[in-house]
Amino acid sequence: MAPDVMARLKAAIATDPAVKAAYERLIARAEAAMKRPLYTVTDKRTIPPSGDRHDYLSIGPYWWPDPATKTGLPYIRRDGEINPDRNTDKFDVSDLEGMSSDVETLSLAYYFSDNPRYAGRAASLVRTWFLTPATRMNPNMNYAQAVPGREEGRAEGVLDTSRLERVVDGIGLIGPAGKLTAEEQKGLEKWFSDYLDWMQSSRNGKAENAAKNNHGMWFDAQTAQFALFARRPDMTKAVAEAFPKKRIAPQFTPEGKLPLELTRTRSLHYSIYALLAAYDVADMARCVGIDLWNYQDGGKGLRGATDYLKPYYRKVETWPMPELRPLPGELDELLRRARGAWGDSYPLAPETELKRYFGNGSGVSEANPKQDG
């Protein structure tokens, strides 16, 4: 989030009809969120292998029952095709998405309206998911993105918690309302610190850290942000310092391509997806005095990769590689952030900024499954 942009938009609500209309839509969504039940991992219908409902459970998005076997086991992979069973109440991913989305909506509504009701509800959502003993999630992803008949949980499941980046932002936005006590704030910081420890020490976490595609970059994005929130800035700095050699050198080409994403059935989507993770790392790196936005080595860097995608802005149908579901506005958020980093040579449709701060424009909803890599 860009505080200067948010302040400008807040001031414009009273004078700009387009901003006012977007604000009113945000408030309508916030009012709807006020009426929804609180989310918890303990409500799912399937018990995790541990026997503890507090453990998060999901299945991999692109895994389906095998029609060639009586039981459907083991599941088979269909890249780019999301199994709708993943988003049912058998598992936790829909509640994780709902909680994260509502916290984002309510925290933004509080910021733009100064109405403490919205901050109070966001605090209740966070309290229920992370702190209340009867409903809290254990800080691990041992059983995330499981594949029935194959694996109880996979490294790829760490990607599910990329949604929590929105929650961390939301907690910061509602801070001035005082709806979370100092003790609760410390409890949240401890939850994320414990989760960071799990990410660094567990089998799934270590494997995801070692991933060479977008998964590795999203591991770094989460680590960098969660570490700042948990008051472990040295960990954020370590991620930022390692990023050029660990991620950019092996995953970017001098021409700006991300070859490991180009092998996918949704190659444009995953190229954008991976770059959004790199952008998140660059944002966090700036907080610890490291400039990744302008890093380049032999043509390899965030700006070169962005420039490779830029010609397809509002022309996604001309993308020359496989793309199962080309979405006309898929580059909008990437280029909005590029403009903030490098200036106005990057296009910005007026509605893109409004969508980001007044709409569901963070790029992380299930409708735009940024987190299902």
Q: What's residue 363's pLDDT?
A: 42
- Among 183, 210, 237, the domain boundary falls at 210
Burial of 32 from C-beta contacts in 10 A (0-12 / 13-18 / 19+): exposed
The model's pLDDT over 332-341, given as tens digits with 9 standing for 90+, comes to 999 999 999 9
What is the arithmetic mean of pLDDT over 109-121? 99
Q: What's residue 359's pLDDT?
A: 86
Q: Which helix (H) or strand (E) holds 146?
A: strand 143-146
**141 and 203 inside one domain:** yes
- Does a structural domain hold residue 254? yes
State which residues form the domain around 263. Answer: 220-373
What is the arithmetic mean of pLDDT over 266-288? 98
Please tell me the distance from the alpha carbon of residue 313 to that of residue 336, in angstroms, as a whole number: 11
**6 and 62 inside one domain:** yes
What is the arithmetic mean of pLDDT over 353-362? 81
Neighbours of 333 (CB within 10 A): 22
What is the arithmetic mean of pLDDT over 16-36? 98
Q: What's residue 360's pLDDT?
A: 61
Instruction: Compute and round to an integer the Cα radius of gyration of the chain.
Output: 20
The model's pLDDT over 303-327, given as tens digits with 9 standing for 90+, comes to 999 999 999 999 999 999 999 989 9
Q: What's residue 367's pLDDT?
A: 30
Half-sphere exposure of 168 toward its Cβ, with a 13 Å CA cutoff?
24
More confident residue, 80 or 189: 189
Q: What's residue 292's pLDDT?
A: 99
**119 and 31 inside one domain:** yes
**363 and 253 inside one domain:** yes
- Does a structural domain hold residue 22? yes
**249 and 194 inside one domain:** no
- Amino acid sitting at position 199: M
**199 and 242 inside one domain:** no
**199 and 244 inside one domain:** no
Peptide linkage before 84 cis (omega within 30 of 0): no
What is the arithmetic mean of pLDDT over 360-364? 47
Neighbours of 199 (CB within 10 A): 23
In this structure, what CATH number is given to the domain that contains residue 289?
Answer: 1.50.10.100
Contact 215, 257 (CB under 8 A): no
**337 and 254 inside one domain:** yes
Three-state SS string over 18-75 comes to HHHHHHHHHHHHHHHHHHCCCCCHHHCCCCCCCCCCCCCEEECCCEECCCCCCCCCCC
What is the arithmetic mean of pLDDT over 16-34? 97
Q: What is the pTM of this model?
A: 0.94
What does the mean pLDDT of the chain come to?
95
More confident residue, 273 or 368: 273
What is the arithmetic mean of pLDDT over 118-135? 99
Q: CA 79, 85, 89 angle in degrees (round to 5)?
A: 140
**79 and 180 inside one domain:** yes
Burial of 92 from C-beta contacts in 10 A (0-12 / 13-18 / 19+): buried
pLDDT above 90 covers a percentage of the chain that reads 94
- Amino acid sitting at position 21: A
Task: Say whether 266 sits in a helix, a strand or coil.
Answer: strand
Residue whose entry in the numeric block shows the structure tokens 């006012």: 20
**129 and 232 inside one domain:** no
What is the arithmetic mean of pLDDT over 268-272? 97
**190 and 233 inside one domain:** no
What is the arithmetic mean of pLDDT over 289-309? 98
CA-wise closest residue to 331 among 259, 271, 253? 271
**195 and 235 inside one domain:** no
Contact 62, 81 (CB under 8 A): yes
Count of domains observed in the chain = 2
- Does a structural domain hold residue 303? yes
Please tell me the distance from the alpha carbon of residue 228 to that of residue 240, in angstroms, as a whole number: 12
- Among 182, 210, 238, the domain boundary falls at 210
- Does a structural domain hold residue 342? yes
- Does a structural domain hold residue 215? no
The model's pLDDT over 44-98, given as tens digits with 9 standing for 90+, comes to 999 999 999 999 999 999 999 999 999 999 999 999 899 999 999 999 999 999 9
The model's pLDDT over 193-228, given as tens digits with 9 standing for 90+, comes to 999 999 999 999 999 999 999 999 999 999 999 999
Contact 353, 22 (CB under 8 A): no
| pLDDT band per the 50, 70, 90 thresholds, residue 373 | low
- Among 210, 230, 254, the domain boundary falls at 210
